[in-house]
């Protein structure tokens, strides 16, 4: 028997699935996250995943359900007879079953951010398995769950943001200029401090809890969902949420909104042969950036900007957004809200930052080289799972510290 906190959950989960031959999951909510990625890899090896997921309050993201639909046997609980709220994981290991019962949903927050408590034990009497089988048998089969998912996806809107909790506001933030947080960042520890201060500042401005690292309409949610969409090998068919996250339409406007880019919107919206071919061209050009080493990333990123900028209706701002989603550890998004502060910090011309001219003038390449000189970027030293998560997306997340709101 083992009692686990959030500090052990993801590592223990990855250890458990190494020796399991089947995993059953029943959770209130699921979102794109590293734990879901691990389940996807587990299923890709030919092993069985069964998942029961609730959709109450729209807290489950439709893209997470699509991921489970493709890799697992999925049944959706629509909470008609009361809120579906369990968090149960059963790991089948050659006749032995180990179960987790606790507070962690199959979400980024549940496995890497929240304060959670999960109890692991062997399912000796089979009570956990019996509960799961009863619940599984009470729900409609996968075909009907697919119909339910289609309807849920079609009508989905992100859950309403939590209002900011009343607290003693740090008066030091009141007099700060927009984007000044980035000027106080040097090493990794100061990055975490400024992230927390910016969280309070923007939370007070917008009356929302955790607008940077929380769930819903936040920077981290945009990065988390966007990374999974951008890294798909095939962009031939895109859902509404896929299109919105690629182009920064609500509720994914962080890292720069491309709502006004008419031609680009059309290319991602209409599945004509010509548009699909352009998507494939962009995705193919993005692949070297996804696989590039840290030392090669700046060069291949500029190659990508040049190719995307040559397509009618596309420009450097959209290219840098796609880069930031594909490689949130290395790429920053240069957009209307961030370019002025990036210019101030780096000393580079604001008009050059989203461009990539070879051997003539300043460019995105120089901006990345400037970032490489920053310790928080080149040498992060995260403490615990939450900071490890932030370190994995640190470059894209930096947008929240340079953002200058004009609203």
What are the CB-based long-range contacts (under 8 Å, 24+) for 316-322?
Answer: 316/354, 316/355, 316/356, 316/364, 317/256, 317/258, 317/354, 318/247, 318/256, 318/258, 318/261, 318/264, 319/354, 320/256, 320/354, 320/364, 321/248, 321/255, 321/256, 321/258, 322/230, 322/246, 322/282, 322/286
CB neighbour burial string for 26-50, b if at least 16 within 10 angstroms, e if fewer: bbbbbbbbbbbebbbebbeeeeebb
Return d(Cα 296, Cα 23) in angstroms, integer. 39
Length of the chain measured in residues: 407
Return d(Cα 357, Cα 303) in angstroms, integer. 9
pLDDT given for residue 174 in this prediction: 53
Evaluate whether 149 touches 69 at the Cβ level (below 8 Å). Answer: yes
Q: Any idea where the domains of the chain sit in the sequence?
A: 2-155, 171-402
Evaluate whether 193 touches 207 at the Cβ level (below 8 Å). Answer: no
Class (C level, CATH) for 2-155: alpha beta
Structural element, H or E, at residue 24: strand 22-27
Residue 356, phi then psi, degrees to nearest 5:
-145, 55
Return d(Cα 397, Cα 395) in angstroms, integer. 5
pLDDT given for residue 169 in this prediction: 47
pLDDT tens, position by position, for the chain (407 residues)?
899 999 999 999 999 999 999 999 999 999 999 999 999 999 999 999 999 999 999 999 999 999 999 999 999 998 877 899 999 999 999 989 999 999 999 999 999 999 999 999 999 999 999 999 999 999 977 777 788 999 999 999 998 877 766 554 454 455 555 558 999 999 999 999 999 999 999 998 888 889 999 998 999 999 999 999 999 999 999 999 999 999 998 899 999 887 666 788 899 999 999 999 999 999 999 999 999 999 999 999 999 999 999 998 888 899 999 999 999 999 999 999 999 999 999 999 999 999 987 656 679 999 999 999 999 999 999 999 999 999 999 999 999 999 987 65
Return d(Cα 46, Cα 120) in angstroms, integer. 25
């Amino acid at each position: 028997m083992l009692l686990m906190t959030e500090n052990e959950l993801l590592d223990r989960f990855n250890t458990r699935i190494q020796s399991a031959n089947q995993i059953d999951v029943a959770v209130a909510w699921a979102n794109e996250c590293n734990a879901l990625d691990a389940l996807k890899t587990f299923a890709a090896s030919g092993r069985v995943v069964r998942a029961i997921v609730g959709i109450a309050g729209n807290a489950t993201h439709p893209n997470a359900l699509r991921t489970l639909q493709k890799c697992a046997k999925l049944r959706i609980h629509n909470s008609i007879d009361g809120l579906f709220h369990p968090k149960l994981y059963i790991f089948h290991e050659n006749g032995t079953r180990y179960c987790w019962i606790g507070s962690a949903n199959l979400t980024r927050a549940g496995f890497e951010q929240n304060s959670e408590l999960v109890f692991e034990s062997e399912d000796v009497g089979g009570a956990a398995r019996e509960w799961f089988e009863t619940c599984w048998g009470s729900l409609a089969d996968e075909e009907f769950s697919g119909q339910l998912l289609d309807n849920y996806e079609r009508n989905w809107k992100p859950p309403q943001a939590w209002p900011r909790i009343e607290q003693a506001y740090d008066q030091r933030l009141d007099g700060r200029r927009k984007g000044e947080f980035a000027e106080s960042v040097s090493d990794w520890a100061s990055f975490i401090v400024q992230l927390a201060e910016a969280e309070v500042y923007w939370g007070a401005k917008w009356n929302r809890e955790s607008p940077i690292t929380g769930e819903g309409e936040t920077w981290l949610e945009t990065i988390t969902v966007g990374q999974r969409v951008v890294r798909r090998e095939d962009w031939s068919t895109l859902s509404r949420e896929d299109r919105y996250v690629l182009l920064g339409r609500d509720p994914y406007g962080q890292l720069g909104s491309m709502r006004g880019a008419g031609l680009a919107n059309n290319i991602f919206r209409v599945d004509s042969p010509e548009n699909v071919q352009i998507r494939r061209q962009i995705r193919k050009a993005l692949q070297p950036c996804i696989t590039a080493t840290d030392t090669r990333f700046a060069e291949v990123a500029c190659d990508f900007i040049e190719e995307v900028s040559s397509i009618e209706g596309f420009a450097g701002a959209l290219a840098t957004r796609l880069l930031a989603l594909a490689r949130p550890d290395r790429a920053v998004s240069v957009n209307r809200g961030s370019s002025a502060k990036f210019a101030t910090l780096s000393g580079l011309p604001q008009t050059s930052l989203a461009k990539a001219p070879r051997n003539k003038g300043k460019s995105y390449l120089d901006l990345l080289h400037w970032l490489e000189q920053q310790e928080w970027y080149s040498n992060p030293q995260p403490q615990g799972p939450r900071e490890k998560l932030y370190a994995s997306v640190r470059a894209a997340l930096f947008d929240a510290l340079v953002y200058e709101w004009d609203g």
